[in-house]
Structure 1
């Protein structure tokens, strides 16, 4: 079976195996013929498609040569025939993914019953940017047209999915699409409708307003009729917007990195993996650095991914990262829980509890879990599922004998490539003809690379960029090597790095060195530009073409550990201390100012601490809305943790302080309590060195919040008292008293909680802080009610309600809940039901599932006391469904209320 791939890298596969069709220009000729498969393409048209305006001398002869070589490598069922001054490539059009995509889209238009499945199948054909490694004016135009057709198919598919009531499954994708296309009204309408149908009416209305303002500011126009009609329907709660939606399905994670662009050899190891993929025991692939463990694991994982329909999870555990920033087991398991779609606010704080929840979430599922670059067995154990249907694949430089002993892991040791496998790798990347022409030289190159795939890949990338004979490349490689012991493969690969590095253009070489200074696991284009001080896209492309850097996600780049260490070494040799300090300063400015802007979007009412202006060359991102801010924090989460520590360790304490302030909001919102504790410790040490009381106060509060959620209440109380001791800011002191009240409540000390809430109220009032006063009054009323003084509690909460600002929806929902509790215990159950219902409406509009369930339980209690057992059961049943979906322990309370008891 022959398959042609144009919707991504240009490739030809025969029975699943990639066929080498030559260098870039030859692939461009093939692409030009495949776009018009079975149709005549005149030679002049081919020349224009392949070269544009830069037509070389004797271009027609060059085309003829390329066609001749293509005829030799293409399978017998595919013919290229010359006729009438041009060429025709004859093949099944549906064997070309581009034409199959168009065929499926057309079928979707005439087969409405199958339209969703057909469009989904069409979109799965896309592997990336069409013809991603080729670039001519004609290809740019075709690429743009194809991207437009793909977007149209995505939007058509989205409409169908929304019509079927599966809005929850689209939300994350629509958020990303809306961030990319902020002025596309059809995308905006789909996102707004999905938010509305997910019970997030407030978010839907806010999104409409953001789109309206943006259209007015940037285009000077109003939303079109369709968007305005949708807005009208939302305001009137029109039943036309509702559907009978199925239960919201959790996302299916597909986290595997992109497979290697080419892969050769390792037949024995692949066969061994196939034989032991029973799911009952982990598999440990071990071997020396650079031997290709990750490439093998990712290649095989993609090959068998279809056997794991519930998804694939991936984490780089960074066990041997030169920076020493090893991924903690808690960090990894928490990332997996997020990927599985669990509500972040309901995820328990301790590692043991999270590991138990992870195992529960995987029960009865078939998932593939790739744990890359593990340091030891202890790093792995919390990430092991309990379900026999899940397969765990581990890579490590160590054999992880402890995992073999305790969990029966299958060991698979990966050795250096044999001469034959190394030869196959070079053939895969350079073509057989080029190696046959100079076999002895090819053997010398293989020997120089010491059987390490990373070295061979780098050399092959350099060779592919030239037309020189291999003997010239070998001489260049031989001449560029430092003296080394030929038996030391680590020294051999370092010499290959040196040769490839010295072949870079000066600016690309400088960027390579500076990237070694970056402390995080990967880096975005924007951050790299700030580190470098100038735009870097062409330089990043040069480094990826040389295989000195990998674009493992779109727009995000990562080093191999060995290359990172080499880059850091080169920076210390070739860049002065002043240059390195300036580069890292720009990098930290980038993160601090982008994080600051993102936090202001996540929490517009938060009291601001403004960092100094960024230095020249730093270019923070200009984020515009909540979704962009949350997406940026999510993408940069682990990078930011590393940057905070790096700043504090390298004399950038003000950066550490400001970044901790900005990052705390995201970590709290997503429930990353262990990370918040780590950030708080770094921020506190930095604040102490700065002798900054305000920063010390903030850091103690970060530590207190984390300690409270981690059930270290005495420790939380100590941090909050220290925060009070060092802070001279009335608003900050008020916030600390509010948090002390919550800690006291958790300890059952309601009188002390009331005392702290009253102090917070006085401080907010003295500062004229209206929002703070409203929240504190509600807290005062709540604790008065817990102490049994319901009359005073009623007065306090009604005053709070009068102070609340219209946009403080959380405050409104919490205050109505307090009033419901007060009326219930005063015996006024009808009034309590009304208050709980108002609280419930707001929490539902905010999409806050846990508090929706909590209020439903209270509402059911009031219904029962009022004598309406049927309504009570309805409320408790809904609460139970939500809490079971969240996997929350409070589900037992709802379940107990539904037990049949005399009434």
Structure 2
């Protein structure tokens, strides 16, 4: 039974002329994979990749085996056809002439070997007649798409060869209309133009033929900056000479004149890229194609050229550079590469073939710059070079991966802060030789580099402004887009301004990608997929839809991906974000998107508030707490700030209060920024608003912690005795804050009585963390009144409540209270308890409680006689509590200094102990030493300390014991 395999169109298998059902798309893909490689084994891994790409099913090999089994059954009665499995994989054994694609290639080879034009044209026609449409059109996988593109290229090459043969056989009139249409589809293909010119001339249309040449020349000059090849000029000369009988087909690939490879040498030095050059060279050790990817202006081209210049001597045939930025048509890539290599394709030869023929025997480095807008065509040619030219290495630059098999990616990142500053200074001196960074405003250069994201193009353009401005002027007036224009005249126009560079990338996006990119500009400091869906997605859009669009922006270097303890997050460079905001303004959606952003993050803050009071506190801290000292801030704190500012700007006080009162735990960890938010919301709010008392309590708590007791009392009075509604943070009750102020003022009995009343009247049904706080304060009050028998039970109750809730901060606070109550009488029991407190506080980055644990640990070590450990603990606490500047001593720091005074007295440092005790008394604090201890200082004169001297003196006093 005769079999025919057809893939040049829809997938078909015919047995004795009868069409078989070859199954669904994936089974057809398996068949096509075997057919195109007929009689050659294909491994299981290759088949799985061809069928499923990056998303294979859980049991892909089982599914593949099932498809193979069905196909075997399908061909069981066919003569000479079978699917066999060997060590290298599966193979379809069949006569290649039964497969249309192989028959097509066989007929092309015979046509190209034919001596008579008419015979050749007939064979070409027969080969092209095998095409029934787009190859395996119903199969859509990356592998199938790549093979389909390659087959389409083979077909087009056959069409051009057929045209040559048909013109040689005198069939010019038959192909005149077809050639006109082909040139319209491929406006930069000189071979098509030459064929049309000859057909026009031989049909008696000499003027039209010369017009075709003139138009072609104008397009080549405008698009590629090159003149027509010698072959096309020869066709023009034929027509001018009136010699229609000259052969159409010319010798293939006229030899290019000898030319020296040239890598442009830059007048400026490369800054901060030595490690990147090494990464590129290392990547070449793994494959012949390396692609530098990254956002526009990050320095991909400069890095490629620098690498090429350093490696030029290692390539026998040198380094060659091809710039693709001027191209608007991907079909012109072959011509652009040929022009860069000084290769001239002969008339009758495909330009890509001419490039391959030229490169095949050479050993050189080919730099192909700016591939992103003609990605598919660039990838196709580079793929051919990789497989057919073993001595050639390709270094490409692109906003996204080429996707060729041999490719190795080297992402190019913005410069570090230090390297960015060095680059700015270097380029500023090039513009103004007397530029001295030491004479510039402090921090101005760093601010410029930070706001420009370390992107070299933006930094260089900003530095160029130093000809007429100071760095302070540039920093103040830094419009990331409009100010940064006017690059070097030799640069491509899009590299002369940041706006043009970003605009170039933006225009390469699809419409939906452009829309999403603009909306992403509303975020500040990064975002996750949930936020993108909640803020940017249209109604009906699924998470998968959003992820697909987002990954498209990532692939095109418009969005960065970061991974961290909270999972995958994304970010947009500030220069790109500024451009996106302009696009939002242009399309009139800026306010609507900002409103969705604010609403989303207010709701997130409310969830965070509840979450931070539960067992999942650590996860929420990771998400919303700003991180200092890192290059990437993987939290939503900046988004919360942006949401608050939007609410205030729109006078949406309800939204502002909802956000401000959701953050007291963050407020205490961060300090001044969120405190300012709540104060501003209070000033704008109606006092009858349900959230007003919680807002008052939140602000008052901040001032109480900082020791601003008078201001805290003033703020508390605004609540007029009203308590917050249920569900707010246990830290936000104005009456509780007032009791803490009273305790700090020294009225221990009144404060302790308040918390006892609160504890016993609140009962088990109320906020357990507020009851925990009350128990902890009771223990603290009794201990300060030296009634430890009452302090210890209260501390144990605090631990019981905290453990039942499971909140890490609550558990740490309660253990600090228990360790404090045990510190003097049972220090060995207290030590593991305070160690637990430290660990719990560290896990949720609660610096207040970490410092408190250090302070309690120092006291415990002192009680155990370990002076060195005690001194270290006090020193760590000293540094952690310096949060309001060295001249401001907060209440907890006074507590630490008082304990230090007792430690120093016990260690025999009486002068230092007297100085710290005297400083506390002079500041109106409760005396840290009791009467018996003060008596030990009789006759000792301590140094009088004020202001900034206190902390420095304490540091010095501790060093002798560390």
Quickly name the TM-score band, shorter chain normalised. 0.3 to 0.5
Normalised by the length of structure 1, the TM-score is 0.46
Structure of higher RCO (CA pairs closer than 8 Å, 6+ residues apart): 1
- Higher helix proportion, which one? 1
Normalised by the length of structure 2, the TM-score is 0.43
